Amino acid sequence: MAVTDETNRLAIQLAQILTHQGILLVTAESCTGGGIAEALTSIPGSSGWFDRGFVAYSNAAKIDMLGVEPSLIAHWGAVSEPVVAAMVAGALDRSQADLAVSVSGIAGPTGGAPDKPIGTVWFGLARRQHPLVTFCRCFEGGRDRVRQQAVMVAIDALRLLLDDGGVDPQAEPFGLKSSDSDR
């Protein structure tokens, strides 16, 4: 997946904040397939603030790599708030990072359902010693566009969490406004 100019701009802003604050980041990605890590590590000097990335595309990978309980997936499905919460917590537990993001969604063109249509993406953000934040977005467009939007939203959410002090899961279009949220 190509890194768009807008995604690169957001990634550079996030990199500056991470560098300034001395924070290490870890990613736990499903539908984006490593796209967040790709966008971030394309920035020179990223080894100073990017710890690692987990691409846990299958349910088995979520369980094996991130410690997601199989019962969560069985009950809620891989594209759900409980699963992204477990993914982001598992990424922090299995890394040296201070900050984590997780993403799980349905990019299409198949796999959607009435309650989880194509374009549904759940996000999790976690910072050590801070409340976990989760939010969901439903994106328009084809598979590539859904994935690109998810990468951009994840990076912007991290940026705003650190720079503005919070992410508002209810705000539109991306849910990335300052607020206290511990959903």
Please report the pLDDT score of residue 168 as a whole number.
62
For residue 60, is it within any domain? yes
Q: Number of folded domains in the chain? A: 1
Strand 120-127 vs strand 99-105: parallel, antiparallel, or unpaired?
antiparallel
* End-to-end CA gap in the chain: 31
Peptide bond into 114 cis (omega under 30): no
Work out whether the CA dihedral 149, 30, 171, 15 comes out positive or negative: negative
Domain that holds residue 155: 5-163
Rounded average pLDDT per 10-residue block, the chain, 183 residues: 90 97 98 98 97 98 98 98 98 98 97 95 96 95 96 95 71 42 32
For residue 183, is it within any domain? no
Tokens describing residue 79: 């594209």
22 Cβ contact list (under 8 Å, min separation 6): none
CATH number at residue 37: 3.90.950.20
Please report the pLDDT score of residue 165 as a whole number.
64
For residue 38, is it within any domain? yes
